[in-house]
Structure 1
Amino acid sequence: MSTKGKVIKCKAAIAWEADKPLCIEEVEVAPPKAHEVRIQIIATSICHTDANTIDPNFKEALFPVILGHESAGIVESIGPGVTNFKPGDKVIPFFTPQCKKCKFCLSPLTNICGKIRKFDTPTIDQELMEDKTSRFTCKGKPIYHFMGVSSFSQYTVVSDVNLAKIDDEANLERVCLIGCGFSSGYGAAINTAKVTPGSTCAVFGLGGVGLSAIIGCKIAGASKIIAIDINSEKFTKAKVLGATDCLNPRDLDKPIQEIIIELTNGGVDFAFDCAGGSDTMSAALDCTTVGWGSCTVVGVKAGDEGPNVSPVKLIMGRRINGTFFGGWKSVDSVPKLVADYKNKKFDLDILVTHTLPFDRINEAFDLMNQGKSIRTVLTF
């Protein structure tokens, strides 16, 4: 029986308030309106951004909310005006829209899109659909969307500019990582920093984003890739993916940046902060070489104000970059990234450490928060 035009009842994980486990609930998902697409989520993974949102230090979050933004699924139905998708298409939704019409989309200088309405807090901007209403209800109450995706629901509704059609043969339990973590880290190296052949790199934080940055550095031809994390158990994967050196700051008798400077004859060409936090950002900048060192900030920690940077460090030739979704223009790039995975240009399989049924979502958060997983994929 067709569900087109009808409300769908399904299960979703709702965050009713900060600092509490998610609750599996039955929700009602309304049909898509103009330029919207309703998707059946097949696989979704857990990202630190989801955890940051329910961190009590993150004051901007709105509750109740259906989190989740790293996923892949199948189109169930489309709203009026949708021309690029049809029911049955395999798709990846993402938090970085690409309308292809605004001044940002028309510029080759950025992957930001004007559909993001709050540039100071873009990751929570898309808490409602464009008409300022929600497509989710639970127990008679409207539920907020999250980052334009809300993949912790068996069905979700997204804007057609937050979605890409992908290869029909794609393994959704792997390419879901392209919806955020992999693209952010890999693109930070390839697009934002533009790592050069023979260069030296340092990657701080070896979660899914950091390991993906290492993949990018390796593919770009870096000769030395230093991986840094306080959890030494992550070093094995880092080395498999291309790290030449692994350092745990807790095992050292001097600041990590000093060790890196010694290892690289004055500092690395490129550093990536994939962990977030003032101390890590400062160390990443400090370990870059005078003259041309580049530090790219990828990770954000809830409630952190960032480092107090001395202008002298910048005057002496260092640069700080920020990256959003790895610099990829989403609608154009995501299908190409899926094709690159299919053609074995990079390995997503090694990033997935656990696969669990959706009902065990809180266990997946525990694994991530305890440093026992890289990416946990949840399936319905």
Structure 2
Amino acid sequence: MKSLHAQHHPLADTGYQLTVLTQAEVEGAHQPLFAMRLREAGLLPLRPTGITVMQVNVGKMCNQTCRHCHVDAGPDRTEIMTRATMQLCLDALARTDIAVVDLTGGAPEMNPDFRWFVEQISALGREVIVRCNLTIIVANPKYHDLPEFFARHRVRVVSSLPHFSAVRTDAQRGEGVFGRSIKALRMLNEAGYGVEGTGLSLDLVYNPSGAFLPGSQAGLERDFKQRLLREHGVVFNNLLTITNLPISRFLEYLLESGNYESYMDKLVQAYNPVAAANVMCRSTLSVGWDGQLYDCDFNQQLDLLVEGRAPQHIRDFNLETLNGRAIVVNQHCYGCTAGAGSSCGGATT
């Protein structure tokens, strides 16, 4: 299969297919259908409402190789953010009132400077979110104290758990992952996470396991809470539903299973202009492991940098200019605007 980093996707023959545009095309007259939908809603060019979250990918190394991973993370990935680049992020934060730093990977905890980075962000008085895959906590004794470390710095832990059953979770994330995830959740609960009155937030993330959209976030949260408590004695705060975007490994699955066109059609038909007005790229700036800047984590994986008139590397960070930029959109953006909407914080409407 041709790489998604090529200019055009191999199936980009119909109007709603994913077409990865060059920067010149994005800024010029050629506009994908998604941009036309934004224009109809008076949202083009899509601009930030104000950056309140800096999402930082500290590396693509991971102890897992999940089928739905849009980062294509795994044990063989060597891209790791250096401490020098982390310091550039800290310098940028210190000049702003950006309140939240969202650390992602891979497994962000595998970066050798991860704990130092968390400590420095915390010292700036900013909220820290860590996208923890759970199994990293039990993968090696050197990670066993992560729940206590997280609690000490009041980190908000957000963790993927595809389902409350072992069969469906392991099918998506690998054999034995569900059991290890439950063990890690119990360790987090023991440290106070998800427990009422502690103020230590533990949220779970649900991604559909196939070519369909997530169901009601509220209904799924109720089911997850009941089943995990009854069957495993596990508690958590919120369930966040995220739509799988047609990029990277999930795109490969769609192509191999023959579901690509029907899935894209589902996304297009479920387009919600209210969700479009609330997409996460309007309040979030994504920083790549090498310091390059993107409108969101998904654009990052497609090598779609922020528009050329804005700073494209964290070393050149300028909040005023970035807040005034036009956000780069494309066909994969239908994933964030389908139905109730989708973001790293769950449903948007």
Verify same fold: TM over 0.5: no
Larger radius of gyration: 1
Q: Structure with the greater relative contact order (CA < 8 A, sep ≥ 6): 1 or 2?
A: 2
**TM-score when normalising by structure 1:** 0.24
Compare the two structures and name the one with the higher helix fraction.
Answer: 2
**TM-score when normalising by structure 2:** 0.25
